[in-house]
Amino acid sequence: MFRLFENLVDPYCDYPENDTPPRRLWPFMAAYAVPFHRVFVLATLMSVVVAAVEIGLIYYMGRLVDLLGGDPVSFWDSYGTELILAAIFMLFLRPIIQALDVLLLNNTIIPNFGTLIRWRAHKHVLRQSVGWFENDFAGRIANRIMQTPPAAGEAVFQVFDAITFSLAYFVGAAILLSDSDPRLVIPLIFWLVLYAGLILWTVRRVGPASKRASDARSQVTGRVVDAYTNIHSVKLFAHNRRELDYAHEAIEHARETFQQEMRIYTVMDVTLVILNGLLVVGVVGWAILLWAQGSASVGVVAAATALTLRLNGMTGWIMWALTSFFRQLGVVAEGMETIAQPITLVDAPDAEPLRLTKGRIEIDNLSHHYGRGAGGLDRVSLSIAPGEKIGLVGRSGAGKSTLVKLLLRFYDTEEGRILIDGQDIAQVTQDSLRDQIGMVQQDSSLMHRSVRDNILYGRPDASEEEMIEAAKKAEAHEFILDLEDSEGNPGYDARVGERGVKLSGGQRQRITLARVILKDAPILLLDEATSALDSEVEAAIQKTLYGMMEGKTVIAIAHRLSTIARMDRIVVLDDGRIVENGTHDDLLSHGGLYASFWARQSGGFLNADEEDETAAQ
């Protein structure tokens, strides 16, 4: 039974991806609700039926009171069959109706609706560009991905569990009272007007207050996660107190916004008690007055009393359900600030996979300033022949990393274009472009997974032997065999911690190298690939790197100039432009900027302070 209802909707079903999701709340919710349309119709129907059954029971209680006023001797003969049918309904049919209602809500809608939103939201966010992630806290993004689905699921739950039910119940109550005596509807309608006014006052304030509180909670999460992620820096600079103060500011703001939200509920609760008193006195008092005048039976008074007491008990629940509904919508609205942001870096409508035949790279009049009008690259043109090895040199901020990011299409160029084997990379699919490029970065962060998972990230379908061979080439196999994590997983099964924090910088770098060696892409980008290695390991890996480069088109960034001196060509960038281009010997004989770098390097490193002094002279 459970499995049947749990599988009525597949939260992972195919759907048309939208690069520009709805930015308004109701269209946003409606887009996610499409697979649930039939289930929502059934849930609405069942909610109305449950409310009708509740009203029917109250009506029948009133009828029973009137029937008991007759002759006890003939009572069973006259109404015995009716009582048996009523008992059968209460014992069997009513539980079935109630079960169908809660199965739809608890087992079909609640788990699947939240899962669908979380899956699609995560899928959408993963498609965002690198630049998009660089402009926000990872903790805040994750928090919104995690808190929005349950909030949306809770809002939908309240629609069917409380809102639809209560509307049907109020209509049924009015029908019941009017059937007994139309005049009994007057105090109910008067109360409903006041109750609706209280609801309107509450929901107008709860939604914005909830959004402010949710924003404040996300800010707390972002600051706390930021401190935990950078715990080494916190400890290194002894800034525990500073981080506590930084978090305290956000935590206190979250407390204040939550206090403001709870004030609304306090006013609501007190006012609701007063209104419920008016309801009981108005309806029951009027029913008693009608009975005293001979216009209503005892059964009518009993039904009216039961109905008002039931409404008295329900109103608090309904009000909380409504405020919860709008509070959860406030959380969803806050989450939409992340989830509903459009994808700005997308594949062209007619994009096809990159067809790499030789590995020629053409950079044509390329400019990119990150929208600032300065920095980055300025009108750079460069031709790299198939299999050519290029060393990229320049001061910090000269544009080296920008060029690499544009080649990977982490950003779209502002001007100019990049061609690979004659194909504009803006016109091919992003995945196919990056499949053909291997990159070793200076920041060799790893996934919080096993060593095996991290190396196989380069080529998931590689065999165990191929993975181990890649690790050996990266001089990583020996230390990997000695690893063991806190759970006792040894060697390649050991988990490396968040961003590889359980390993040294050199160990992380070697696992990163193994991953790229395993990928074996025809284009290779090296950004300070050996910066975290000691001299002995670097000497061994340099031989591996040069072996990796054979037959590949290579762009290598390095501050240690000796590591790129053997490249086919060296390109010197300065202030976003190519100022020198040639072999190591040619550039030295030219006596320009590269020659000054080489003359002033210390132990083979580019000395940033001395190079700035040279530029100032």
Please check whether residue 145 is in contact with residue 118, taking contact to mean a CB–CB distance below 8 angstroms: yes
% of the chain surpassing 70 pLDDT: 94
Using 50, 70 and 90 to split pLDDT, how confident is the model at 107? very high
Predicted local confidence at residue 335, as pLDDT: 87
Q: How do strand 423-424 and strand 415-420 relate by DSSP bridges? A: antiparallel
Phi, psi of 45 (to 5 degrees): -60, -45
Residue in the structure block whose two tokens are 């050991």: 494
Predicted local confidence at residue 238, as pLDDT: 85
Q: How do strand 437-440 and strand 423-424 relate by DSSP bridges? A: unpaired
> What's the mean pLDDT in 504-526?
88
pLDDT in tens, 382-405: 999 999 999 999 888 888 888 999
Question: In the sheet that 437-440 helps form, which strands lie side by side, from edge to edge?
Answer: 437-440, 523-527, 553-557, 389-394, 569-574, 577-582
- Give the tokens for residue 389: 């090895």
- The CB-side HSE value for 200 (13 A sphere, CA atoms) comes to 6
Predicted local confidence at residue 487, as pLDDT: 86
pLDDT winner (highest mean) among 14-18, 37-41, 217-221, 310-314 = 37-41
Domains of the chain: 23-339 (1.20.1560.10)
pLDDT in tens, 414-431: 899 999 999 999 999 999
Distances (CA, A) of 210 to 256, 323, 329, 331: 12, 10, 8, 7
Predicted local confidence at residue 395, as pLDDT: 85
> What's the mean pLDDT in 50-66?
82
Tell me the whole-structure pTM to 2 decimals.
Answer: 0.76
pLDDT in tens, 317-370: 777 777 778 778 888 888 888 889 999 889 998 899 999 999 999 999 999 988
Please check whether residue 406 is in contact with residue 413, taking contact to mean a CB–CB distance below 8 angstroms: yes
DSSP class of residue 557 equals E
DSSP class of residue 20 equals S
DSSP class of residue 93 equals I
Distances (CA, A) of 90 to 83, 85, 87, 176, 230: 10, 9, 5, 20, 61
Strand partners, 526: 440, 556
Q: Where are the beta strands (DSSP E) in 244-376?
A: 361-368
Predicted local confidence at residue 535, as pLDDT: 65
